[in-house]
Amino acid sequence: MSKIKCIIIEDEPLAAKVLIDYIAAVPFLELQKTFKDAILAAEFLSNNETDLIFLDIHLPRLKGMAFLRTLVNPPSVIVTTAYHHYAVEGFDLNVTDYLLKPFEFERFLTAVNKVNAEPRRIAGSIKDFIFINVQKRKVKVLFSEILYIESQREYIKIVTTKSEYLSKMSTHEIEEVLPAHLFKRIHRSFIISVNQIDSYTAEIVEIKGIPIPIGRGYKDVIDNL
């Protein structure tokens, strides 16, 4: 099962440390970054995707609820605050849960388990595509149509059911924006669509008759499909 990627928006160092420790103790959570204010978080989210935000209410520059209203397609949100009177407003904004500080690990786990029980929301049902740079155009590519991605020096070749695209970016860069449950890196130079696999051995994966090598350090990826 892919991990739930999350960020923390919290200006109190001790409160942030508690969340960092709690997240580290939960196997299905992966902390991407911690921010001291919502504006810095907004800059991160403009170029990156996350599955879950731990959001404090009282933040410098831009308050938590105001920030939440700016998000067009927000991920799951767990509000953290010392003020209980924000709970109603939080639930009006469809937050997953509301943690009143100070909260114990057991209460934290209850909240994140609610997020873990919403696989469709996390899996990216809201966004099922990516725009890639092809020469001077932005081309929309559906995740469901991607067969595999191959590194070609400074470029990547994205092979789909309909066409092939060459884009100037690294496999690491595109891996960061692909849904982890749908795409797996099986070689230093190859990322494959799990749903497109026809067959595989210990050495190769076959997709639409095309053999793709499995790198020596990626054997466990196939074993865990």
- Residue 163's domain comprises 129-223
Residues 34, 135 within the same domain? no
Q: How far apart are CA 159 and CA 6, in angstroms?
A: 30
Give the pLDDT of residue 3: 86
191 or 173, which is more confident? 191
Write down the pTM of the prediction.
Answer: 0.54
Residues 112, 190 within the same domain? no
pLDDT digits (tens, 9 = 90+) for 47-93: 888 999 999 988 888 888 888 888 877 889 999 988 765 544 444 56
pLDDT > 90: percent of the chain:
52
Kindly tell me if the per-residue pLDDT of 109 is higher than 90: yes
Q: Is the dihedral of CA 51, 56, 61, 63 positive or negative?
A: positive
pLDDT digits (tens, 9 = 90+) for 153-163: 889 999 999 99
Q: Which residues contact 151 (CB under 8 A, 6 or more apart)?
A: 170, 171, 188, 189, 190
Quickly state the pLDDT bin for 129 (edges 50, 70, 90): confident
182 or 55, which is more confident? 55
Residues 23, 88 within the same domain? yes
Residues 166, 104 within the same domain? no
- Mean pLDDT of the 87-112 span: 78
Which of the listed residues 122, 144, 163 is the one where a domain comes to its end?
A: 122
Q: How far apart are CA 56 and CA 82, in angstroms?
A: 9
CATH number at residue 216: 2.40.50.1020
Quickly state the pLDDT bin for 175 (edges 50, 70, 90): confident
217 or 146, which is more confident? 146
Residues 89, 174 within the same domain? no
What percentage of the chain's residues is helix, strand, coil (to nearest 5)?
30, 35, 35
pLDDT digits (tens, 9 = 90+) for 8-37: 999 999 999 999 999 999 999 999 999 999
Give the pLDDT of residue 127: 63
Residues 114, 174 within the same domain? no
Quickly state the pLDDT bin for 114 (edges 50, 70, 90): confident
Exposed/middle/buried for 24, CB within 10 Å: 0-12, 13-18, 19+? Answer: exposed
Residue 36: what are its φ and ψ, rounded to 5°?
-90, -15
Kindly tell me if the per-residue pLDDT of 120 is higher than 80: no
Give the pLDDT of residue 124: 42
69 backbone φψ class: left, alpha, beta (φ>0; ψ -120 to 50): alpha
Residues 29, 57 within the same domain? yes
Q: Give the total number of structural domains in the chain.
A: 2
Give the pLDDT of residue 91: 46
Q: What letter represents residue 78's amino acid? A: I
CATH number at residue 86: 3.40.50.2300
Give the pLDDT of residue 199: 92
Largest CA distance in the chain: 59
